[in-house]
């Protein structure tokens, strides 16, 4: 559990989330056993809710890992919709493909193996929803490219923007996270807040999720 939302509240939210199926539960367990930094089921349900609310037919994700958040996102797509998801670790990308297959979603998901910094130059927009969950130090350098790829009215969703509260000066007595990552996220949050094309709201759920809409 994170340090932002008290454990009993997280447990209460968890008890109300009935959307995870057996495939998602198995992937979450596998991720926990290997200490992979996957979103939890509550953030997963938030992603699916937002993608459905946006009527998304094209979704882009940075940071596939083993496909957990991708399954929540792709599950929101209508027939003919697509998720393009990028992962630089080839083993994780392979496992993600297997997991998309098990979830019955392989037909609408394309996993691209490689560094998002380079791959994003080759991708054509517009996307209805973009989920940024890759390298924290790349959040800020990739921001303008992602905004360009987003359709007006589309959503840029960013995970980990509160970083266990460590972006809040003085909040955490003994910070555990890489200070370079913490600075990078704090800078990114400032850029989101000041961005002329975005309206952003941060939900203090789990590790903090920023929801930005691109102005029309």
Ligand X SMILES: C[S@@+](CC[C@H](N)C(=O)[O-])C[C@H]1O[C@@H](n2cnc3c(N)ncnc32)[C@H](O)[C@@H]1O
List interacting residues with ligand X (CB under 6 A). 37-39, 63, 65, 68-69, 86-89, 92, 115-117, 133-135, 138
Answer positive or negative: Cα dihedral of 79, 124, 127, 121.
positive
Least spacing, CB of residue 134 vs ligand X, in Å: 4
Residue with smaller CB distance to ligand X, 125 or 197: 125
Residue with smaller CB distance to ligand X, 94 or 197: 94
Least spacing, CB of residue 185 vs ligand X, in Å: 13
Least spacing, CB of residue 96 vs ligand X, in Å: 8
Tokens in use for 27? 């992937």
Hey, is 115 helix, strand or coil?
Answer: coil
Least spacing, CB of residue 196 vs ligand X, in Å: 26
Residue with smaller CB distance to ligand X, 87 or 128: 87
Q: What residues are paired with 155 via a beta bridge? A: 129, 213
Residue with smaller CB distance to ligand X, 158 or 212: 158
Tokens in use for 178? 């890489």
Residue with smaller CB distance to ligand X, 117 or 200: 117
Of 145, 141, 140, residue with least CA distance to 161: 140
Continuous segment of H or E residues that includes residue 24: helix 22-33
DSSP annotation of 174: S
Residue with smaller CB distance to ligand X, 119 or 202: 119
Least spacing, CB of residue 216 vs ligand X, in Å: 28
Q: Are 191 and 143 in contact (CB under 8 A)?
A: yes
| Cis preceding linkage at 126, omega within 30 | yes
Least spacing, CB of residue 15 vs ligand X, in Å: 21
Of 37, 43, 34, 35, residue with least CA distance to 14: 43
């Amino acid at each position: 559990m994170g340090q932002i939302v008290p454990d009993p509240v997280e447990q209460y939210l968890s008890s109300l989330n009935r959307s995870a199926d057996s495939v998602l539960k198995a992937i979450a367990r596998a991720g926990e056993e290997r200490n992979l930094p996957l979103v939890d089921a509550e953030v997963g349900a938030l992603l699916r809710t937002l993608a459905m609310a946006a009527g998304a037919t094209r979704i882009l994700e940075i940071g596939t890992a083993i496909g957990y958040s991708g399954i929540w996102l792709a599950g929101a797509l209508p027939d003919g919709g697509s998720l393009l998801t990028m992962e630089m670790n080839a083993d994780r990308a392979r496992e993600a493909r297997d997991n998309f297959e098990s979830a019955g979603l392989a037909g609408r998901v394309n996993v691209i193996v490689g560094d998002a910094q380079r791959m994003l130059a080759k991708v054509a927009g517009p996307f209805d929803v973009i989920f940024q969950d890759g390298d924290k130090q790349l959040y800020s350098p990739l921001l303008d490219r992602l905004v360009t790829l987003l359709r007006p009215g589309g959503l840029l969703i960013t995970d980990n923007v509160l970083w266990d509260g460590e972006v809040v000066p003085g909040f955490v007595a003994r910070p555990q996270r890489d200070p370079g990552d913490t600075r990078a996220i704090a800078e990114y949050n400032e850029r989101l807040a000041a961005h002329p094309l975005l309206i952003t709201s941060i939900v203090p759920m789990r590790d903090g999720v920023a929801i930005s809409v691109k102005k029309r």
